[in-house]
Amino acid sequence: MAQLLAVLIDGLIYSSWLFIIAVGLTLIYGVMKILNIAHGSLYALGAYSAASLAGYWINHGYPPMGSYAVMLVAAILVGLIAGPVIERGLLRFMYGKDEIVLVLVTYAVFLILEDFVKLAWGVDPYFIAQPYGLLGSFDVGDLTYPNYNLVLFGAAVLIGAVLAWVLTKTRQGKMLLAVIHDREMSGAMGINVGRVYFITFTVGAMLGALGGTLTAPMISVQPGIGAETIVLAFAVVVIGGLGSLPGAALAAILVGIVRSAAVHYRPELDLFSIYLVMAVVLIMRPKGLFSAQEARKI
């Protein structure tokens, strides 16, 4: 019983993390039909900037509680710089190309950014563990969980709720849905599609970086974290149905619980379990759990 509870709690924590890293990816795909491999690099950039900035903040004796604000600022900065540079500088010349070609374009961006990270931060790992332990911990049975996990959970719920609200309740969100539905028609109706793409990509980039900054205190920040994370985000997004927000949430929970069960009961199946879920879902529902019906085009 205690173990089952641990599986659930671990699973929910992991689900929150998965949702945070995947939500930007699914947003960008939903609007722009780009499966953005560079999302992994934005995650890495976020983690590195958080490690640097929060490290600087703490080492200079500023109040440690402020490090959370610093991490948030780091994510916003990365999104605001990298998002526009990638979208305006490169992607906008590629719109209308094949989806697979767009994947390769973002793969190229991923490769470039991977080395950019190495050049800017070197290849040695960074650690900023302070924000992880700062908030104390809570006990469940004889297990102790740092309260930082609640921050993760809260952030996931908040991001999901805000995005859902913006998409369904605001004027901007409705315009976005119109663009998703029919790009050309909404352009003809006077929506500035280029601007919608620009804002979506920047917000998506910010969310990717935020995933990185929130993760940074829990891991050693080192080269390769982007490549590791992007495949997990792919798995979540593809399981949920590309471009679907509720799909990503459900997929994150599903994958999170399955993986945590695997880790507790059969640790050798850890990574395997995630991709098994992905393969099984794709086999049962080729376009993921929540996918829109598409008219067949000749």
Partner 1 sequence: MKHDPTLPILIAGSIILLAVGPFLPRWAMFLINVSLCYGIVVLGMMLLMRTGVVSFGHGLYYCLGAYAAGTLDQVFKISDMAVMLVAAVMVTALASAALGLLLRKYRDIFFAMLSLAFSMILYGLLVKTSSLGSSDGFNIAASRIAGITVAGTSVDRYVRYALTVVFAFIAGVFMHRYLNSHMGRLAGAIRDNELRVEYMGASVGNVIHVNYVISAVLAGGGGALAAIAVGHIDPEMAYWTTSGEFVFVGILAGTGSVLAPFLGAFIFETIRSFAYEYSPNTWQMALGITMLVVIMFLPGGLWSLFTRKRKAA
Interface residues with partner 1 (CB under 8 A) are 35, 90, 93-94, 99-101, 103-105, 107-112, 114-116, 118-119, 123, 227, 231, 234-235, 238, 242, 267-276, 278-279, 282-283, 286-287, 298
**CB of residue 122 to partner 1, shortest distance in Å:** 9
**CB of residue 34 to partner 1, shortest distance in Å:** 10
**CB of residue 21 to partner 1, shortest distance in Å:** 16
- Report the residue count for the chain: 298
Helix axes 66-89, 193-215, angle to 10 degrees: 140
Residue with tokens 């891991």: 219
* CA 16 from centroid of its chain's CA atoms: 10
Looking at the Cβ atoms of 38 and 205, the one nearer to partner 1 is: 38
Looking at the Cβ atoms of 30 and 146, the one nearer to partner 1 is: 30
Distances in whole angstroms, Cα of residue 169 to Cα of each of 27, 29, 32, 262, 292? 17, 21, 21, 39, 20
Characterise 282 by phi-psi region: left (phi > 0), alpha (psi -120 to 50), beta (else). alpha
Tell me, what amino acid is at 54? A
**CB of residue 46 to partner 1, shortest distance in Å:** 19
Looking at the Cβ atoms of 115 and 129, the one nearer to partner 1 is: 115
Looking at the Cβ atoms of 25 and 159, the one nearer to partner 1 is: 25
Residue 289 carries which DSSP code? S
Instruction: Name the residue among 16, 11, 14, 26 with its Cα closest to residue 237.
Output: 26
**CB of residue 188 to partner 1, shortest distance in Å:** 27
**CB of residue 100 to partner 1, shortest distance in Å:** 5
Instruction: Give the pair of three-digit tokens for residue 83.
Output: 């998002």
Distances in whole angstroms, Cα of residue 221 to Cα of each of 43, 83, 212, 251? 11, 21, 9, 26
Looking at the Cβ atoms of 142 and 268, the one nearer to partner 1 is: 268
Looking at the Cβ atoms of 23 and 86, the one nearer to partner 1 is: 86
